[in-house]
Amino acid sequence: MKYQPNEIQSLRLKVAQQQAQIAQKDLFIAQQNFQLSISALKTEADKVKKENGWDAGVLFDTERLLFIDISRSLVVPSPTEEGK
């Protein structure tokens, strides 16, 4: 048995398919724009680091807009130092 939608149903399906394809293209473009914006944000953060003379150990957190010195933040005190 072959299941065939009628002409109106076929047209509705075609329109829905085309809308999904357009949305997929829009999503792709939005992802590209997002990546470009993140790149621009990182470039601006690099300028700020340079302007302030901060070393390479300072990283930029794009979510919180914070600069973090990872060379200092990764130091874990030894158990003997914690008790002091």
Residue in the block written with tokens 């939608």: 5
- 38 membership: H or E segment, kind and range: helix 7-52
- 79 membership: H or E segment, kind and range: helix 79-82
Tens of pLDDT, residue by residue over 17-43, are 999 999 999 999 999 999 999 999 999
Nearest CA to 67 out of 82, 77, 52 is that of 52
Choice between 77 and 25, residue whose per-residue pLDDT is larger: 25
The pTM of this model reads 0.67
What does the domain layout of the chain look like in residue ranges?
Answer: 7-82
Mean pLDDT of the chain: 90
